[in-house]
Structure 1
Amino acid sequence: MVINGRLRWKLLIGLIAAIAFDTMLQIVWKTAVVDTPEVNLSVSASFAAFFANPLFIGVIAIMTLQFFNWLMVLGEADLSYAKPIASLSFASVPIMSVLLLHENFDAVEVAGVICVIAGVFFISQTKPLTSETKLTSRPEAS
């Protein structure tokens, strides 16, 4: 898992991808919802409108990529390590919302983003995997 005290490239790339996929997903989803006209439609017409919008198809595609990436990440690290690192998207989403969607960002949100980044920094100082033997040796059924 850790080579010379450093993360494996596969895990590092997977964690960066997890943050990027979640950030993209939230931005594309928000854009798709804003672009959808408010019309009271039947359920079947709503589904047709949903699948007609390419942004919603993009949301599904990003969710699929996110799912398979997350499977790989969890195979490389403990959930208690990986999930807090992936929560950097709680910092990247507001930043990208300001840059791409021109949303407002106040001092309280800045403080929140700083707290998230600080928390992730502290968690990143721990070992990504509790024990190699815990993953490789599984208890046998009796």
Structure 2
Amino acid sequence: EWFHENIVERLRGPSYPYYHRKFNPVKTIDECEIDDKVCFYEANQAYERDKRIDTIILDILFTRAARCSIYEGKLDQDTTCRKELDDLFQARCNYYQKYGEMGVPHSVIDAYMKQKHHMVYMRRHPDYDFTGIDDQRKFEQERKANMKKIRQPLH
């Protein structure tokens, strides 16, 4: 133990906790100059990379929620899979707020304008529930109540 603490730990060097590729930070579209085509291209590439990463994260969360729902069954999934379902719902809402309803050929400028309009709308309507979590909870409670009303066949 003394050998490990005094010699091995000193010779080991710094630990590397990151296993994923780290990209150098580039300017966002609001930091670019008006006629800077290179900055626009880099910001657009970073936006597309972030969109691909968000899509992969959404797929992973969907797979986790689906596996939990299959494992727990239809009646118990609302209670035991609550964390996975909430994470998936929140990620879908965030993905929709960031990338939804922009059309197929869109760029980082379209996303920036959508973000600007969303912030203006939030300022004018501060009490509006953008995620719809209350409606989702009400729908899940009604579905669970209806599932309990259905007679299950005896085995």
TM-score bucket (shorter structure): 0.3 to 0.5
Tell which has more relative contact order, 1 or 2 (C-alpha 8 A, sep 6+). 1
TM-score (norm 2): 0.35
TM-score (norm 1): 0.38
The structure with the largest helix share of the pair is 1
